[in-house]
Each structure stands twice: as structure tokens, then as C-alpha cells.
Amino acid sequence: MPKWFTPASVICALMFAVSPLLIANAPFESTMGLVQKISYYHMPSAWIFLIAGIVCGVASIRYLFQGNLSQDRLAQAAAELVVLFGALAIVTGPLWARKAWGVWWQWDVRLTSSLMGWMVSVAYVLVRKYGGPGSDKLAAGLALFGMANVPFIYISVNYWRTIHPKTSVVPKLPLQMGIPFWFCVVAFVLLFTLLLRLRVRLEEQRARVDELYLALD
Amino acid sequence: MMTRLRRLAPVLALAALLSHAPAVSAQQAPQQMDEFVPIDKLPQQEQIPAANLLIPAYAFVWIAVLVYVGSIARRLGGVQRDVERLEADLKARK
């Protein structure tokens, strides 16, 4: 593992340990109250879900057109993280919505497109696991659809009728809410980077096992 | 007559449910927000129901991340052992 990995892991763990204190000290939102504090983990999870989708899509394009195996490993690692962070966003969102909107789920464009994006990434992981020979290219094609969905998910709240908060809530965050929010964003980005490196390492070691079996034959 | 009524019962029940659906959805239409406005104090009655949702949300994030880290560590450990075993086999053969 690279030299930066261990210190970065310690910093990330400390940031996650400190984040509940910062969130607890942040002010309550005027209409939603206490439940709005879910946003400090929900929004960074959702952003990482989208970023991981883009990483997976770009790496898949490079694998499809250049045949670069390291990009295929990166895409496979990122796809699993799309599933993880997507699950975090999709589970924490309804817990917030239950109190803020009075319902667990709305079939509006933001929620539905996010669910679709998450299901595409689940399909990617399943195809890679059970698809057999050739599943790498089939999954790479799926990743392109997943990536194409990302900008649609992001802008959907600004263009279609929905009760999901707009993207403008982030730049308009007051300082007392902005500090814990951006702190959590940095913690989640760091977590994503560390998990991605760890997951790529797993694929590299699997490739090494294949090489060793071939060398033994 | 009774048999026919019994057959029609699910259809009638569905029709009754659907006829009420627009009224239910019309009741719940909060406004879309474009900014968060902070306040200093939270009404007491707000805290208990929100805490029941807030705590599971944070618990889910922590547990899911820890389970995933554990899963990668387990898989990586297994592959690492395979690599070491195969490298030892290759060395012994040479």
C-alpha cells in the first residue's frame, strides 16, 4: 500500500469520530428541526455516490476503448462503492423524508433516478460476479448508462416538480451549518479515496493470483 | 348472487382505494425548499420523533461502512494468503 494510506486512514477515522460533535453543535433548521441533521451524512453520501458513478463510467470507457486492465480494476472497485454510498443515501434519505415530508418515499424524479442509478451499479456488480467470461465488457457498457444518469440525478431537482430540496441549499448554507457540512464532505471524500485504493488493491492481488497459477502450469 | 358479489369484492375494494388516492396525495404537499434557515432552539415536541429517525440514519451509515471495511479486509486477507502460498509453491518448483 502507498505511504499516505496509513496516516490518511487515521485522519479519516478521527474526522468521523469528531463529526457527530460538530453536527450536534450545528443549529437546527427552522422548518424541519432535528431531523434535518441527517443531511450532514446524507448529502456527502449522495455526492460520493455520484462521483463513484463517474469514476466507474470513465474507467469503463478507458477499458473499453484502450483495453487497459488497470482501468477495469478501477471501474470494478468504483462500482462496489457506488452500491455502498448509494445505499447510504437511499436509506438515510427516507429516514429524513418521513419527518420532513410525512412519507418515506416519493416517486419523484430525483428519488427515482437515484434508485435507477443504484440499481445499475448493483447490476454491474452482479454481472461481474456471476456473468462468466466476457462479463467485464458487458459490465463496462452498464457503467456507461450509470454515468449518463449522474448529471440527470444532480440537476433533476432544479428542473422538475419535486419537494426534494434544490441544489442551491449548499451554496446558501449559513456558516454554522456550512462548517460541519464541509467537514463531513471532506471526511466522506477521504473515506471514498481510501476504500477505492483498498478495493483496487484487492483486484490487483486477484490478478497476481491468476498470474501465479499460470506460471505454475 | 352471493358468489358473484364475492368475486366482485376485490375489484370494488380496489376501486374504492383508487378513488381515495388523489385525496390522500393532495393532503401531503409540502413546498420545495431552496435554502435551509437556521434557528437556535428546537420545540420540545419535535425531538422525540425526529431522534427515532436520526439515530438509525447515523447508525446505518457507521455500521454499513464498518461491515464493508471488514468485508474488504477479509477478502484481501484471503487473496494475500493465496499469493503467499502460490509464490512459495513456485519457489519450491524452481
Instruction: Encode pLDDT of A119-135 as tens digits.
Output: 999 999 999 999 988 89
A-B Cβ pairs (cutoff 8 Å, strict): 141
Q: What integer pLDDT is reported at residue A180 of this predicted model?
A: 96
Those of residues 10-49 in B touching chain A at CB distance below 8 A are 28-43, 46-47, 49
Print the domain residue range for A82: 38-163+174-216
- B50 and A99 within 8 Å at the Cβ level: the answer is yes
Query: What's the pTM value of the predicted model, to 2 decimals?
Result: 0.83
Q: For residue A216, what pLDDT band results from cuts at 50, 70 and 90?
A: confident
B31 touches A100 (CB < 8 A): no
**Interface-testing mutation among B24, B52, B55, B68, with chain A (most A C-beta atoms within 10 A):** B68
A30 inside domain:
no
Cβ-Cβ contacts under 8 Å, B72 against chain A? 195, 198-199, 202
Name the E strands within A74-157.
none
Within a domain: residue A168?
A: no
- In this predicted structure, what is the pLDDT of residue A102? 86
List of long-range contacts for A70-74, beta carbons under 8 Å, 24+ apart: A72/A136, A72/A140, A73/A200, A73/A203, A73/A204, A73/A207, A74/A196, A74/A200
Of residues B34, B37, B53, nearest to A168 (C-beta): B34
Residue A40 pLDDT more than 90?
yes
Per-residue pLDDT at B3: 61
- Taking the domains of chain B in order of start, what are their residue ranges? 50-94
Give the pLDDT band of residue A195 (cuts 50, 70, 90).
very high
Give how far Cα A37 sits from Cα of A31, A154, B42, Å.
12, 21, 12
Q: Residue A160 — pLDDT band, cuts 50, 70, 90?
A: confident
Mean pLDDT of chain A, nearest integer: 94
What's the pLDDT score for residue A126?
97
Evaluate whether A79 touches A128 at the Cβ level (below 8 Å): yes
CA distance B90 to B94: 6
The complex scores an ipTM of 0.92
With a cut of 50, list the residues of chain B below it in pLDDT. 17, 20-27, 48
What would the mean pLDDT of A95-116 be, rounded to a whole number? 92
Give the distance from residue A67's alpha carbon to the nearest chain B alpha carbon, in angstroms.
Answer: 24
Of chain A, the percentage scoring pLDDT greater than 70 comes to: 100
A169 closest CB neighbour out of B33, B41, B87: B33
Chain A closest-CA separation from residue B13 CA (Å): 23
- Number of folded domains that form chain A: 1
CA dist B79 and A156 (Å) reads 42
Q: What is the mean pLDDT of residues A171-187?
A: 95
User: If you measure CA to CA, which chain B residue comes closest to A19?
Assistant: B58
- pLDDT of B45: 57
Residue A178 lies in a domain: yes
Q: Does the pLDDT of residue A1 top 50, yes or no?
A: yes
Question: Which helix (H) or strand (E) segment is A29 a member of?
Answer: strand A28-29
